[in-house]
């Protein structure tokens, strides 16, 4: 029977025990809030670290193209290993559940200043006019028909050497599956440092690469009036060690 949802997590070969522990805890949160939903871990297949960093999308779609007949699902959630949640996927995407491609945020070269648009000339001619960005490549809901169409196009050799956020979004737009942004709940799926202990918004939280960074209480003390003897029950710590500069 076809599933309503399948969660795909991109992971990699890792020897750092802190990162492994963090990945396992991040994954556990998706299991906890999505009982009965199949969660599959996809190992990034690229040996070169720079290429691996740019190619989470290719790892997913190479895997998907091999498994299309055995993995049947109405929609797929694409996340990276350093994402955790405190809400079910269906509730998180309640306003966009039946759309084909839903992302945390969407960027366009005509409107937005974004580093990766400086590389859009590397897109093949047929897709260059459709240059689009998704930021970050995490927390993306994709329908089955969009997965199949994107999977056939994105693995073509002339898309190599691009960043996942540009390549995937541009291919989706080129094929007529324009990404739409998830509403305000996506504010905690970002790249910038954010408040480590933040209970305001339930949803997906990214990035968390270690469970607790060094000097975490010192960081919190600079932005919140907390008793250092009281530790909040959820530690949401980004990979940055410096306190947020914009708060």
The average confidence (pLDDT) of the chain is 85
The structure's pTM equals: 0.84
CA 23 to chain centre: 14
From the list 85, 192, 173, the residue with the least C-alpha distance to 132 is 173
CA distance 205 to 236: 8
Domains, the chain, in order of start with CATH, read 6-186 (3.90.550)
CA distance 57 to 165: 8
Q: What is the pLDDT of residues 14-72, one digit of tens each?
A: 999 999 999 999 999 999 999 999 999 999 988 787 787 889 999 999 999 999 889 99
Q: Which residues, including other chains, have CB under 8 Å from residue 216's CB and lie 6 or more apart?
A: 196, 235, 237
Q: Which two tokens stand for residue 168?
A: 């995937």
From the list 203, 234, 190, 181, the residue with the least C-alpha distance to 89 is 203
**3-state SS assignment for residue 143:** strand
pLDDT top residue among 69 and 83: 83
């Amino acid at each position: 029977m076809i599933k309503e949802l399948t969660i795909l997590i991109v992971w990699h070969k890792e020897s750092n025990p802190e990162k492994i522990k963090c990945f396992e805890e991040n994954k556990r949160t998706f299991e906890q809030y999505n009982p009965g939903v199949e969660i599959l871990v996809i190992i990034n297949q690229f040996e070169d670290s720079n290429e691996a960093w740019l190619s989470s999308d290719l790892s997913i779609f190479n895997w998907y193209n091999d498994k299309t007949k055995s993995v049947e699902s109405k929609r797929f959630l694409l996340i990276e290993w350093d994402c955790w949640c405190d809400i079910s996927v269906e509730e998180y995407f309640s306003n966009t559940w039946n759309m084909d491609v839903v992302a945390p945020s969407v960027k366009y070269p005509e409107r937005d200043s974004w580093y990766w648009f400086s590389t859009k000339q590397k897109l093949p001619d047929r897709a260059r006019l459709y240059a689009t960005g998704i930021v970050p490549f995490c927390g993306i809901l994709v329908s089955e028909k969009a997965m199949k169409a994107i999977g056939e196009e994105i693995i073509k050799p002339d898309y190599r050497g691009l960043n996942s956020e540009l390549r995937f979004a541009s291919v989706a737009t080129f094929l007529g599956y324009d990404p739409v942004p998830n509403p305000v709940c996506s504010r905690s799926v970002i790249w910038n440092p954010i408040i480590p202990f933040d209970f305001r918004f339930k949803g997906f939280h990214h990035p968390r690469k270690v469970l607790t960074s060094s000097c975490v209480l010192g960081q919190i003390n600079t932005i919140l009036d907390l008793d250092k003897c009281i530790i909040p029950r959820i530690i949401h710590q980004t990979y940055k060690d410096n306190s947020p500069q914009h708060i």
